[in-house]
Amino acid sequence: MNHPAEHTAIQQARRPFPAALLESLKEQFGDRVSTAQAVREHHGRDESPFDPQLPDAVVFARSTEDVQAIVRLCAQHDVPIIPYGNGSSLEGHLLAVQGGVSIDLSEMNKVISINAEDLTATVEPGISRKQLNEALKDTGLFFPIDPGADASIGGMSATRASGTNAVRYGSMRENVLALTVVLADGRVIKTGTRARKSSAGYDLTRLFVGSEGTLGVITEVTVRLYPQPEAISAAVCAFPSMGDAVRAVIETIQMGVPIARVEFVDTLAVRAINRHSNLTLRESPMLFFEFHGTEAGVKEQAQTVQDITAQNGGTDFDWATRPEDRSRLWNARHNAYFAMLQLKPGCRAVTTDVCVPISRLAECVVETEKDLLGSWLPCPIVGHVGDGNFHVAMLLDPAKPEELEEAERLNRRIVERALKAGGTCTGEHGVGLHKMGFMIDEHGEDAIGVMRSIKQALDPKNMMNPGKIFSFTH
Ligand SMILES: Cc1cc2nc3c(=O)[nH]c(=O)nc-3n(C[C@H](O)[C@H](O)[C@H](O)COP(=O)(O)OP(=O)(O)OC[C@H]3O[C@@H](n4cnc5c(N)ncnc54)[C@H](O)[C@@H]3O)c2cc1C
């Protein structure tokens, strides 16, 4: 599907891919180099509505040394490199808009060390968040960041991801302590330490977290871990309107209740979830809550929240204390994206992820709802509302350009509103190709100029995932 709003970002000139490079890669990596159409197609797309743009080759790396060798070979030939984690990004991050080599990191999926006493783990980048939690199962610890997809820790670092737990545990920004990174010239650097804090110079870790593969390839990640809470309970609560639900969240946050998860789901999204996950939730705007702590702490938090929801018109406050009921509920929430896609068979989704200061959330959500009511596209809304972050999934038929245009019109209005409210165009998905057009509006020319200078200093040949985040020309 051609994408009118981001035409210039998507249609970039491909660079030559010399036969000599392919030969050298094959010599060094044998059958771990693929030029098969299906493999290239798989690596030249993500979960965005954009059509794939294929890399010229895919190499499956198994070590930092492998990555270093691939990068050095590509650097000799000025060929782009696109790191590939699990392919779940949503903004066109992985499209090989200038061609090049996709480095697949999925075989680098080992836990290197777990330091239970320090509450840290060091892992290879291809391990997924679920694989990491599986490895932590017997330690009494867990890693809380949980995007809806089973993303890789490297990809999550590269997009500065978050998820339903971010309101309590933060995003990848707060939870990555140290990295090993292969730079565009093949140097390998370590950023950060396992210490909880440091004032030692520029914070390079946080520069690479969120850099979307444009500054280097992450080959090791040290993350923070947390003790499994002594008690957990979850609840759902129905509301007469979206505004009421969001006001209940704002009061909860402003009162400092240390809630672990609070997710908003609108009526259409509840319908989709009920159908997809075989649930019988009331079809009205809803909040999903989870509380972590001691038995007494959880009870106290839940009572406070129940009072707040009641004052905001909340009804049917329903508890899920048994682990199997809780996981049924949260699995349903995690599958909401796929449930929503089933509302319109064959559709693809343009998904927004604006994030605003919590005090402005209610007005942003209510105004957005008005916009959506005036549109003919089905647009269910879900959101990590405790962070001020919400998603509208605009379901469109890829064969109908007018539907894409309508989705982009709505998207622009939502982003403009968020920026006016002091928020951001992307709370967690990242920029990729799709949000490039909003970067100057959000940051200003000078700040984007500083980003360009950093990119030029670290990657003067513009090899690392080129053509993403910001443009060099406009
Ligand atoms: C159903 C669904 C729900 C989602 N829910 C959420 C959510 O709640 N929160 C959220 O934040 N996101 C969410 N996402 C988006 C997505 O899961 C995240 O962006 C995730 O962090 C991407 O990880 P990945 O391993 O799939 O990375 P990929 O898609 O493979 O790559 C993403 C970007 O990171 C770069 N990259 C990957 N690995 C490395 C590396 N080792 N070094 C350097 N760069 C690298 C790539 O080049 C690319 O630019 C969702 C996606 C889907 C499909």
Q: What is the DSSP letter of 229?
A: P
- What is the per-residue pLDDT across 385-426, written as a single tens digit (0 to 9) for each? 999 999 999 999 989 999 999 999 999 999 999 999 999 999
- Distances 197 to 7, 174, 203, 427 between C-alpha atoms, Å: 43, 11, 11, 24
CB burial readout 417-427, b (16+ within 10 A) else e: bbbebebbbbb
Mutation test of ligand 1: which of 42, 64, 89 has the most ligand atoms closer than 8 Å to its C-beta? 89
State residue 5's pLDDT score.
46
* Average pLDDT value for residue range 62-82: 98
The dihedral over CA atoms of 314, 316, 317, 318, expressed in degrees to the nearest 10, equals -160
The finding on whether 414 has its CB within 6 A of some atom of ligand 1 is no
47 contacts 93 by C-beta, under 8 angstroms: no
Q: What is the DSSP letter of 396?
A: E
HEC-encoded secondary structure of 291-322: EEECHHHHHHHHHHHHHHHHHCCCEEEEEECC
- What is the per-residue pLDDT across 49-58, written as a single tens digit (0 to 9) for each? 889 999 999 9
Where do we find the tokens 């198994």?
Answer: 62
State residue 474's pLDDT score.
64
Q: What's the pLDDT band for 473 if we cut at 50, 70, 90?
A: confident
Q: What's the pLDDT band for 22 if we cut at 50, 70, 90?
A: very high
Interatomic CA distance for residues 273 and 337, integer angstroms: 9
The finding on whether 90 has its CB within 6 A of some atom of ligand 1 is yes
The finding on whether 209 has its CB within 6 A of some atom of ligand 1 is no
* Average pLDDT value for residue range 427-444: 96
251 contacts 117 by C-beta, under 8 angstroms: no
- What is the per-residue pLDDT across 121-165, written as a single tens digit (0 to 9) for each? 999 999 999 999 999 999 999 999 999 999 999 999 999 999 999
Q: Which atom of ligand 1 is nearest to the CA of 163?
A: 8
- In a 13 Å sphere around the CA of 334, the CA atoms on its Cβ side amount to 19
- What is the per-residue pLDDT across 189-205, written as a single tens digit (0 to 9) for each? 999 999 999 999 999 99
Strands 188-192 and 111-115, sheet pairing: unpaired
The finding on whether 470 has its CB within 6 A of some atom of ligand 1 is no
User: 86 CA distance to ligand 1 centroid (A)?
Assistant: 7
Phi, psi of 64 (to 5 degrees): -60, -40
The finding on whether 333 has its CB within 6 A of some atom of ligand 1 is no
- What is the per-residue pLDDT across 258-308, written as a single tens digit (0 to 9) for each? 999 999 999 999 999 999 999 999 999 999 999 999 999 999 999 999 999
Q: Which of 377, 363, 446 is nearest to 408 (CA)?
A: 377
State residue 11's pLDDT score.
81
The finding on whether 391 has its CB within 6 A of some atom of ligand 1 is no
Mean pLDDT of the chain: 95
- Distances 228 to 196, 232, 419 between C-alpha atoms, Å: 19, 9, 37
* Residue 357 clears pLDDT 60, i.e. is over it: yes
The finding on whether 329 has its CB within 6 A of some atom of ligand 1 is no
Strand, helix or coil for residue 201: coil
Q: Which atom of ligand 1 is nearest to the CA of 156?
A: 21
Q: What is the DSSP letter of 271?
A: H
User: 180 CA distance to ligand 1 centroid (A)?
Assistant: 18
Percent of the chain with pLDDT over 70: 98
The finding on whether 83 has its CB within 6 A of some atom of ligand 1 is yes
Name residue 387's amino acid.
D
The finding on whether 465 has its CB within 6 A of some atom of ligand 1 is yes
Q: Taken in order 243, 245, 250, 255, is the CA torsion positive or negative?
A: positive
pTM: 0.96
Interatomic CA distance for residues 473 and 13, integer angstroms: 14
Atom 52 of ligand 1, residue of closest alpha carbon: 149
Q: What's the pLDDT band for 8 if we cut at 50, 70, 90?
A: low
State residue 3's pLDDT score.
46
Domains of the chain: 111-227 (3.30.465.10), 231-338 (3.30.70.2190)
Strand, helix or coil for residue 289: strand
* Average pLDDT value for residue range 351-357: 96
State residue 391's pLDDT score.
97
The finding on whether 95 has its CB within 6 A of some atom of ligand 1 is no
Interatomic CA distance for residues 457 and 9, integer angstroms: 22
- What is the per-residue pLDDT across 366-384, written as a single tens digit (0 to 9) for each? 999 999 999 999 999 999 9
* Average pLDDT value for residue range 168-177: 97
* Average pLDDT value for residue range 217-243: 96
Q: What's the pLDDT band for 4 if we cut at 50, 70, 90?
A: very low
Q: What's the pLDDT band for 1 if we cut at 50, 70, 90?
A: very low
Q: Which atom of ligand 1 is nearest to the CA of 213?
A: 44
- What is the per-residue pLDDT across 304-328, written as a single tens digit (0 to 9) for each? 999 999 999 999 888 887 889 899 8
